[in-house]
Chain A
Amino acid sequence: DSGVTQTPKHLITATGQRVTLRCSPRSGDLSVYWYQQSLDQGLQFLIQYYNGEERAKGNILERFSAQQFPDLHSELNLSSLELGDSALYFCASSPQDRIDNEQFFGPGTRLTVL
């Protein structure tokens, strides 16, 4: 158990809908990272927040947005969902904003868009 929690574990929804994925980092970790893992794209970095502020941005679509709240939990919002958004979404956390340290991954949310 990494100490990172993600809810829900599974999500099934329809095209065009909007969903929110939630992540609670390890106690004391200030950085939260979001990743998307799909069969065709592999593991893609989406976005990082550090202590409530956006720190780095990856291949995140404009339909996707995220935020980190004062209690350090983070939410990833996916809107106007398409079939291709079906994937595993992972959240990871680390103590600092540096990427040259270990990231602790949550169990993931499996999103299925029908």
Chain B
Amino acid sequence: SQQGEEDPQALSIQEGENATMNCSYKTSINNLQWYRQNSGRGLVHLILIRSNEREKHSGRLRVTLDTSKKSSSLLITASRAADTASYFCATDDSSYKLIFGSGTRLLVRP
């Protein structure tokens, strides 16, 4: 089944820097979502981008989608220590399943 794979697996940056994480998937999608998970807690929805959209913004978040390359990127600008978390992309499945990638662990150092 299709699956999003995030890259890198782990990212460590200084507060104030930008963080970019990528997601690749295997088959056609209707939409792609990004979620954040603080250590051991529930996931929080960040943003959804549809297959006919190329870019979307939400606050300090910028998501791009390239359906020809089957990839998406999540950019967090001016990162804060509170952004430290794991970030997952999730792609839809034609049979109503949401498939999550393996996640990127982001550490923002104060």
How many cross-chain pairs have Cβ atoms below 8 Å apart between A and B? 60
Among residues 43 to 70 in chain B, which have CB atoms less than 8 Å away from a CB atom of chain A? 43-45, 48, 50
Do most interface residues of chain B lie in helix, strand or loop, or is the interface mixed? Answer: strand
CB atoms of B100 and A42 under 8 A apart: yes
CB atoms of B30 and A100 under 8 A apart: yes
Q: Mark A27-41, 1 if CB is under 8 A from B, else 0.
A: 000000101000000
Residue of B nearest to A6 (CB): B42
How many interface residues does chain A have, given as a range?
20 to 34
Do most interface residues of chain A lie in helix, strand or loop, or is the interface mixed? Answer: strand
Contacts of A55 in B (CB 8 A): 96
What residues make up the interface of B, taking CB atoms closer than 8 Å to A? 30-31, 33, 35, 40-45, 48, 50, 88, 92-93, 95-103
